[in-house]
Amino acid sequence: MKQRDKFFELSRRAMLSAFVALSGLLPVSALAQTAMTDPLPSWNDTATKKAIVTFVERVTKQGSPDLVPPAERIATFDNDGTLWAEQPIYFQLAFALDRVKELAPMHPEWKDREPFALLLRGDLKGALAGGEAAIFEIVTVTHSGMTTDEFEKIVRDWITTAKHPVTGRLYSEMVYQPMLELLAYLRGNGFKTFIVSGGGIDFMRAFAERVYGVPPEQVVGSSGKLNFELRDGRPILMKLPELNFNDDKAGKPIGIQMHIGRQPIAAFGNSDGDLQMLEWAKGGGGVRFALIVHHTDAEREWAYDRNSSIGRLDKALDVAKAEGWTVVDMKSDWKTIFPFGSK
Amino acid sequence: MKQRDKFFELSRRAMLSAFVALSGLLPVSALAQTAMTDPLPSWNDTATKKAIVTFVERVTKQGSPDLVPPAERIATFDNDGTLWAEQPIYFQLAFALDRVKELAPMHPEWKDREPFALLLRGDLKGALAGGEAAIFEIVTVTHSGMTTDEFEKIVRDWITTAKHPVTGRLYSEMVYQPMLELLAYLRGNGFKTFIVSGGGIDFMRAFAERVYGVPPEQVVGSSGKLNFELRDGRPILMKLPELNFNDDKAGKPIGIQMHIGRQPIAAFGNSDGDLQMLEWAKGGGGVRFALIVHHTDAEREWAYDRNSSIGRLDKALDVAKAEGWTVVDMKSDWKTIFPFGSK
């Protein structure tokens, strides 16, 4: 099967399983047949997959003592490194860097201003040596000064054209096939799936529905301040160069409360930035699920954890082990990495 | 029919219509029958009702040139004065005042501190003479210093016991029957209904699902800051005495963007505080709907608009008339006010 056909075949199967699971109207024979269709075909038959399926069955099967009403079936997913890759740099930063190059002609002053001067001379490493402050400045100038509508269009144009430097694929293709299946499997079992990411909320919303099946109102992320204005009598929302909310670390449970107002019963992450979200999900009563994607496959994806500057997984890995959370060993648990295969 | 039975009968009919409208699986004969069941029985057959039904049919009927995909059918509702009453004082302020009385024994210093001293001596008018600053202080001390879970329980206890001073009914009974039907009618036509209110987000979430059928994740409101902490190893979110977001006036479109990330195609309000939300809804492309509930019925509810300190409707009424928005004349458009009847 061609890679592209395989992708569609996998998506089709995940969607079919989801649809069948949703439907209470099918006769019993059809349901029995469904049970034999694997909703998670890209997951190897390991303890990880079993833990996921066991959790979902415990909280959703009629008659289960741990049954959770559909309205409370909230699952939250980190994005970078959990739903899509994040190497060699966060994809949103790649977007911002591309924008700096495009905007440079309108900003002659950047030639003498860091981190822009180094960036425009092609010295990415030098520009990013300024750490979070440099990244914050790059993100701020590229994510403000336009309306929310204009920004959405800019991101849509980028996400449908820009290519990843290593794979040559669209960034939106570099999503994890097993996680797409997991999203569909949970939704098929009455879960509402949310993205809760340190990434920009408006950035992710521009593609989350098409790529993940997660509508804008179920995306929680970092944000800048907005201003409501009438421009020629038409209302607009201007994106201001000022941080509104940082949806990372302890910000994640706060973002969850602000947006969702319910404690998730399942949460999925991959780094120390997700620790508090996973603690928050596990902290409620009843059966709860916390999962960490551990990047262990240098060949098919990337291998990194405790000492990585991107997606650092150190304390959360210790907590996961101590608390018995589910840890995905990407190398052994995932049959497929990306819809198109692997790196 | 007894008032209570009438309430259930009305709710049952609204729910039935909603269910039938949702179901694409019924045979045509059943659908034809539905068309004869009025989904808005508490609305008189006036131009207002016709405007609502015409809008919904234009954006939802297969084959309509103005058809809007279900994912984009976002409707936003103000709460105070739009979904439930707001006289003689905002119900959330009534809650806060009750809390001040309950908390007073633990705050001996309030005897010498305004606005608490006047309040505790029974001089509500004097206490509120301090205007927004006084109200902000009363709301702050009663809405912080506990966890989100603890606050939810406090509100639930109050909303199921406290009685309105004029009607003697539970506050949660003082919701507008025509608006309950409208919520169900829109949901039955594939709309996602959101509350977007200047009221406190955590306060409304404690009853919005039960009373309006709006789940916590579809409630947008004003909020205080939160802090994530581990208390005896268990994660909690503490409510801090600091404003996070004021979801009123120009804050409403901003709150909508933050939470929903889509421009509503329909918005419903009753005061100048809703003007920008209505402008934002009308500002998108295609067919849009903006409705203002005008409180014109002093006998069955309350009559107030341009000079009211609560729910002041002045500029928004002028804009509504100039722009041809739909204005509900409560007295002539609503057959029933509350599920139990009227004031």
pLDDT tens track for A143-188: 999 999 999 999 999 999 999 999 999 999 999 999 999 999 999 9
Q: What is the pLDDT of residues A111-120, one digit of tens each?
A: 999 999 999 9
Q: Note whether A205 and A127 are within 8 A (CB).
A: no
Residues B187-203 have a mean pLDDT of 98
How many CB pairs lie under 8 A apart between chains A and B? Answer: 86
Q: Is the pLDDT of residue A11 over 60?
A: no
What are the residues facing B338 on neighbouring strands?
A: B341
Residues belonging to chain B with any Cβ–Cβ distance to chain A shorter than 8 Å: 25, 71, 74, 148, 192, 194, 201-202, 205, 209, 215-219, 223, 226-228, 230, 234-237, 244, 250, 253-254, 257-262, 276, 279-280, 283
Q: Is the pLDDT of residue B32 over 90?
A: no
Looking at residue B334, the DSSP 8-state letter turns out to be B
User: Residue A25: is it exposed, middle or buried by C-beta count within 10 angstroms (0-12/13-18/19+)?
Assistant: exposed
Q: What is the DSSP string of B238-282?
A: EEEEEEEE--STTHHHHHHHHHT-S--SEEEE-SGGGHHHHHHHH
Nearest CA in chain A to B152: A261
Q: Is the pLDDT of residue A253 over 80?
A: yes
Mean pLDDT, rounded, of chain A: 92
CB contact under 8 A, B258 and A201: yes
pLDDT band (50, 70, 90) for residue A130: confident
CB contact under 8 A, B257 and A237: yes
Q: What is the pLDDT of residues A25-39, one digit of tens each?
A: 444 444 444 556 999
CB-based contacts of A259, cutoff 8 Å, min separation 6: A194, A220, B217, B259
Range scoring the smallest mean pLDDT among A82-86, A307-311, B1-5, B39-43: B1-5
Beta strands in A187-294 (DSSP E): 192-200, 219-231, 234-245, 266-269, 289-294
Q: Where are the alpha helices (DSSP H) in A222-274?
A: 251-259
* Identity of the residue in A250, A258, A260 whose CB atom sits nearest the CB atom of B223: A258
A194, A223, A237: best to mutate for the B interface, most B CBs within 10 A: A237
pLDDT band (50, 70, 90) for residue B35: low
Looking at residue B166, the DSSP 8-state letter turns out to be T
Would you call A241 helix, strand, or coil by DSSP?
strand
Look up the pTM and report it.
0.90
Q: Which of B246, B201, B266, B311 is nearest to A228 (CA)?
A: B246
- From A200's Cα to the closest Cα of chain B, the distance in A is 11
Q: Is the pLDDT of residue B306 over 50?
A: yes
* Identity of the residue in A205, A228, A258 whose CB atom sits nearest the CB atom of B276: A228
Separation of alpha carbons A248 and A196, rounded Å: 9
pLDDT band (50, 70, 90) for residue B36: low
Nearest CA in chain B to A222: B258
Q: Is the pLDDT of residue B9 over 70?
A: no
> Cβ contacts (< 8 Å) between A234 and chain B: which residues?
283
What are the residues facing B237 on neighbouring strands?
A: B228
Cis check: omega of the bond before B178, within 30 degrees of 0: no
CB contact under 8 A, B257 and A230: no
Mean pLDDT, rounded, of chain B: 92
- From A136's Cα to the closest Cα of chain B, the distance in A is 20
* Identity of the residue in A202, A260, A283 whose CB atom sits nearest the CB atom of B217: A260
Nearest CA in chain B to A238: B254
CB contact under 8 A, A257 and B218: no
CB contact under 8 A, A280 and B228: yes
A153-183 per-residue burial string, b: 16 or more CB within 10 A, e: under 16:
ebbeebbeeeebeebebbbbbbbbbbbbbbb
Cis check: omega of the bond before A115, within 30 degrees of 0: yes
pLDDT given at position A36: 66
Q: Is the pLDDT of residue A16 over 60?
A: no
Looking at residue A147, the DSSP 8-state letter turns out to be B
Alpha-carbon distances, residue B64 vs A181, A246, B36, B51, B60 (angstroms)? 35, 42, 21, 16, 7
Q: Is the pLDDT of residue B108 over 60?
A: yes
B259, B262, B263, B277: best to mutate for the A interface, most A CBs within 10 A: B259
Q: Is the pLDDT of residue A4 over 90?
A: no
Residues belonging to chain A with any Cβ–Cβ distance to chain B shorter than 8 Å: 25, 71, 74, 148, 192, 201-202, 205, 209, 215-219, 223, 226-228, 230, 234-237, 244, 250, 253-254, 257-262, 276, 279-280, 283
Separation of alpha carbons A78 and A94, rounded Å: 18
Q: Note whether A138 and A99 are within 8 A (CB).
A: no
Q: What is the pLDDT of residues B163-184, one digit of tens each?
A: 999 999 999 999 999 999 999 9
Instruction: Give Cα A27 to chain centroid, integer Å.
Output: 36
Q: Is the pLDDT of residue B3 over 50?
A: no
Nearest CA in chain B to A206: B261
Q: Is the pLDDT of residue B308 over 70?
A: yes
> Cβ contacts (< 8 Å) between A262 and chain B: which residues?
216-217
Q: Note whether B304 and B115 are within 8 A (CB).
A: no
Q: Is the pLDDT of residue A96 over 60?
A: yes
Cα three-residue angle A100-A102-A108, rounded to 5 degrees: 70
- From A37's Cα to the closest Cα of chain B, the distance in A is 25
pLDDT given at position B21: 42
- From B260's Cα to the closest Cα of chain A, the distance in A is 4
CB contact under 8 A, A201 and B261: yes
- From A113's Cα to the closest Cα of chain B, the distance in A is 32
Separation of alpha carbons A112 and A114, rounded Å: 7
Q: What is the DSSP string of A149-168?
A: HHHHHHHHHHHTT-B-TTT-
CB contact under 8 A, B71 and A261: no
Cα three-residue angle A98-A101-A105, rounded to 5 degrees: 150
* Identity of the residue in B217, B228, B280 whose CB atom sits nearest the CB atom of A262: B217
- From B170's Cα to the closest Cα of chain A, the distance in A is 24
Q: What is the pLDDT of residues B45-68, one digit of tens each?
A: 999 999 999 999 999 999 999 999
Residues B249-255 have a mean pLDDT of 98
Q: What is the ipTM of this complex?
A: 0.89
What are the residues facing A238 on neighbouring strands?
A: A147, A227
Beta strands in B45-150 (DSSP E): 74-77
Separation of alpha carbons B197 and B194, rounded Å: 10
pLDDT given at position A23: 43
Q: Note whether A213 and A184 are within 8 A (CB).
A: yes
What are the residues facing B116 on neighbouring strands?
A: none
Q: Is the pLDDT of residue A8 over 60?
A: no
* Identity of the residue in A74, A253, A260 whose CB atom sits nearest the CB atom of B237: A253
